Amino acid sequence: MRKIFTLFLLFISQVLPTFAFGSEEKIITEVYSKINPAIVCIDAQLNGGVSCGSGCIIDKSGVILTSAHVIESYKNIIVTTYDGKNYEAKVLKRFEDKKDIILLKIDTKEPLKTVKMGDSEKIKVGQKVLAIGNPFGFSGTLTQGIISRIDYVKNRIQTDAAINPGSSGGPLLNKKGEIIGINQAIFNPDNNISNIGIGFAIPINSVKEYLAEKDFI
């Protein structure tokens, strides 16, 4: 009986197919592995509590790009890297206009992983995109979707990739792992009761142009 059982197991192992990641899954997992080390969690202590958001490391010395509304009226800012290390951050540059972007700086002895910025002028409606952030404090969360609409008047990208409170400041990525937008907001008619699949990101080209003008890239 034992020989029959052993032969049966051997037969099963030869007949059953070997499951592996599909080509698209492999692309997504590789993008996440590459980009997640350059994404941080931002906790800004406010008078009324804590504001949580995400950020992208754009310089290995510790310069972080995020949404300005994440740290509005802050007292102090704590940045947590993907490996769980905490750093006190300072505001490097606050841009006094309506772009809703801000630069933070943390001091670290080791060079940090950085993101690569893409070209948001090349994006298309229907294109698959990925988002990485810290929704509701769940750090390093990856979601995917498509570009649902491009609002040329308001200069923002609409996506159905799940974006929730805590995702602001995180990257919207193409399948090459390049940032095409900075996640900013969601359409929220029911006060965070549900996510209805309408999120918005600032096109990365407008951010790049602005940073270049101010000599930060």
Buried b (16+ CB within 10 A) or exposed e, 26-40: ebbeebbeebebbbb
∠ CA 180-182-185 to the nearest 5 degrees?
130
Place of tokens 């906790």: 43
Spatial contact of 71 and 92, defined as CB atoms under 8 Å apart: no
107 included as an active-site residue: no
Spatial contact of 183 and 170, defined as CB atoms under 8 Å apart: yes
Name the active-site residue from 59, 69, 148, 206. 69
∠ CA 198-80-100 to the nearest 5 degrees?
45
As a dihedral over the C-alpha atoms of residue 133, residue 37, residue 129, residue 91, rounded to 10 degrees, the angle is: 50
R_g over Cα of the chain? 20
69 included as an active-site residue: yes
Strand, helix or coil at 213? helix
Name the active-site residue from 43, 54, 100, 139. 100
- Catalytic residues, by residue number, are 69, 100, 168
